[in-house]
Amino acid sequence: MIPYGRQEISPGDIEAVVATLGSDWLTQGPAVPRFEAMVAGFCGARHGVAVNSATSALHLACLALGLGPGDRLWTSPNTFVASANCALYCGATVDFVDIDPRTYNMSTEALQRKLQQAEGLGCLPKIVVPVHFAGQSCDMQAIHALAQRYGFRIIEDASHAIGGAYQGQPIGDGRFADLTVFSFHPVKIVTTAEGGMVLTHQTPLYERMARLRSHGITRDPESMAGESEGPWYYEQIELGYNYRLTDIQAALGASQMGQLQNFVAKRRQLAARYGESLADLPLTLPWQHPDSDSAWHLYVVCLRLEQIRSSRLQVFNALRAAGIGVNVHYIPVHTQPYYRKLGFKVGDFPESERYYAGALSLPLFPTLTDAQQEYVVDTLRHLLT
């Protein structure tokens, strides 16, 4: 089976991990700050906080911005559930902003309309979480302008987008967001097996997240409520978690970062090749905004269901039967049973539902061979014509 995504682990990655296993530190050693500095340096951010998943990163990001009961967080329905769940962990409420039918990202126009209404009703969000779907940046300049006007904070869910650029600058550089979150799950662009990171320029947010990552404990006398009782002394000054990344994982991540530009270049090349060879099929191919240089986490085609005889399910099953591990990203979050219990229903965000009905993610990862890609294209052509 050709999967839709997979990691690429080099001999150098394996050496880096093995070296850590033989070192003094399996966790809380030097590899984590080194990895943080590499990612922050690559993206042009001041600080990075590495954690054990992007889900944890989103949770810490919300806590650092003071999200709590009575507050609201808005995100895109076309995302993995974690982008919304982070608000619920904090006791806040979630709402969604429908997508742009061209980019499948949060629509800036829909956001503006919803903010106008919310201002009238006195229920503006505290945080908006734009999700850079498939690796393409949202329209961050416009979202940032709305944040200035309506007073919300921005957490970019860039789980798909490390190595991508917006207006010629790396995603994660913090020009238009308070915080940027990356995921290092194996299907993402670079991996630590499980892992995530939050980037920010804002030192107080960085310090808060670093403390919350490790139980809310501080060893900094400046932050303590009392006097230090000796060199062993620490204080827990708030309720934190154990969201730490291990040194083993950070060593893998740092080694993978050395390949990031090659990985993204390969993904761009494969995406361009799909674009050329699928152009005449009854498919809507990914549309790229001129401001965006996608990291191409996913290559999503939308079946033009009115032009083909088969259903999406039939095409999906036929591809799987042919050994092609297609997938679907994403089931709109508001239609999940858990979110329906919170009051959302099918029909609430029609663009994301229309998109979902035809979407299909084709295999895309750096080691996908030309022959494999041709096989995917030929199989799809055979099924659709």
Ligand X SMILES: *Cc1c(COP(=O)(O)O)cnc(C)c1O
**151 vs 29: CA distance, rounded Å:** 39
Among 137, 159, 255, 294, binds ligand X (CB under 6 A): 159
CB of 120 to ligand X, least distance (A): 31
**Position 256 contacts ligand X (CB under 6 A):** no
Among 59, 72, 153, 160, binds ligand X (CB under 6 A): 160
CB of 272 to ligand X, least distance (A): 23
**230 vs 174: CA distance, rounded Å:** 39
Burial letters for 323-356: b for 16+ Cβ neighbours within 10 Å, e otherwise? ebbbbbbbbbbbbeeebeeeebeeebbebbbebb
Query: Which tokens belong to 335?
Result: 């239609």
- Which amino acid, one-letter code, is at 139? D
Q: Nearest CA to 158 among 33, 61, 263, 90?
A: 61
Judged by beta carbon, residue 82 or residue 124, the one nearer ligand X is 82
Judged by beta carbon, residue 159 or residue 379, the one nearer ligand X is 159
**Position 54 contacts ligand X (CB under 6 A):** yes
Q: Nearest CA to 212 among 91, 72, 52, 85?
A: 52
**Position 47 contacts ligand X (CB under 6 A):** no
Whether the Cβ atoms of residue 130 and residue 106 lie closer than 8 Å to each other? yes
**Position 157 contacts ligand X (CB under 6 A):** yes
**Position 183 contacts ligand X (CB under 6 A):** yes
Q: Nearest CA to 54 among 254, 192, 247, 147?
A: 192
Stretch that binds ligand X, among 157-165, 212-220, 257-265, 281-289 (CB under 6 A): 157-165
Judged by beta carbon, residue 54 or residue 252, the one nearer ligand X is 54
Q: Give the x/- contact pattern for ligand X in 188-217, rule: CB under 6 A.
A: --------x---------------------
Adjacent-strand bridge partners of 2? 324
Judged by beta carbon, residue 20 or residue 52, the one nearer ligand X is 52
CB of 7 to ligand X, least distance (A): 13
**Site residues, ligand X (CB under 6 A):** 53-55, 79-80, 82-83, 131, 157, 159-160, 183, 185, 196
